[in-house]
Amino acid sequence: MTAVLRAEGVSRSVGPLPIVVDVSLEVAASEWVSLVGPSGCGKTTLLMLLGLLDTPDRGSVWLDGEAVAGWSAAARARARLSRIGFVFQTQNLFDHLSARDNVALPAWRACGSRPEALRAADALLERFGLTHRAATRADRLSTGEAQRTAIARALVNRPKLVFADEPTGSLDSANTALVLDALAEVTAGGAALLVATHDAGVAARGRPLMMKDGRLAEPTRGAP
Ligand SMILES: Nc1ncnc2c1ncn2[C@@H]1O[C@H](COP(=O)(O)OP(=O)(O)O)[C@@H](O)[C@H]1O
Ligand SMILES: [Mg+2]
């Protein structure tokens, strides 16, 4: 089966400094892969490269078997909107918008219909136990609610590939459990999930890939 995400020899330097070095990996549909390593090892930089937010200096990335190397900026933006979901490390909801509008916004952009986008948002908020917070401004949500809202937003266009960068980094154990359940729903729905984390408990939920000094340490091919 074609991997949802494949990378071969991906490298990225900042000036003379190598940040990501010769990374090859595959993530299959319904698979949870955990990118594990200490702070500063290059996890965020790698997710940006794989999520089409940055371009490697060397190496190639394929989405569903399609090489992204030749894509225009517009094609990359389209793929980020409709094929990829991203849960960022730092809170990046629109503070002045409600939870519901934050979740609906990418769907509205993709499908052009606000009512349809709001229906999709409501369904996700309900799935994540957030219906009672739907009308709440994002800056009034608790950290755990905001993170689940961010996951709902990442899923609203039904992407086949989802990235999450330290999704539980700032949460207590109760909220961590809720966010992990929400992430498990991502793969249960058939999407591929790549989670960067330095939390061993989070890492254990998926197939771990160990990262150190910009490199993956383990054999990295294929599903377990
Ligand atoms: N734009 C940049 N300019 C300079 N250094 C950077 C830049 N982006 C990342 N780095 C450095 O690259 C290393 C890896 O960073 P990062 O990918 O954020 O690691 P992680 O997410 O694993 O903590 C760090 O040493 C960081 O300081
Ligand atoms: Mg990081």
What are the tens digits of pLDDT across the range 181-191?
Answer: 889 989 998 99
Which of 45, 86, 88, 195 maximizes ligand 1 atoms within 8 Å of its Cβ, making it the mutation to test the pocket? 45
Q: What is the mean pLDDT of the chain?
A: 92
pLDDT of residue 220: 47
Ligand 1 surroundings by CB, under 6 angstroms: 14, 19, 37, 39-45
Contact 218, 209 (CB under 8 A): yes
Q: Is the pLDDT of residue 206 over 90?
A: yes
- In ligand 1, the atom with minimum distance to the C-alpha of 41 is 22
User: Coil, strand, or helix at residue 90?
Assistant: coil
CA 123–ligand 2 middle distance (angstroms): 30
Q: Is the pLDDT of residue 224 over 60?
A: no
pLDDT of residue 33: 97
The strand ranges marked E within 15-100 are 17-27, 32-36, 58-63, 66-67, 84-87
Contact 12, 215 (CB under 8 A): no
Per-residue pLDDT, averaged over 129-156, amounts to 94
Ion ligand 2: residues, CB within 5 A, are 43-44
Nearest CA to ligand 1 atom 13: 40
pLDDT in tens, 159-178: 999 999 999 888 888 888 88
Q: Is 5-216 in CATH node 3.40.50.300?
A: yes
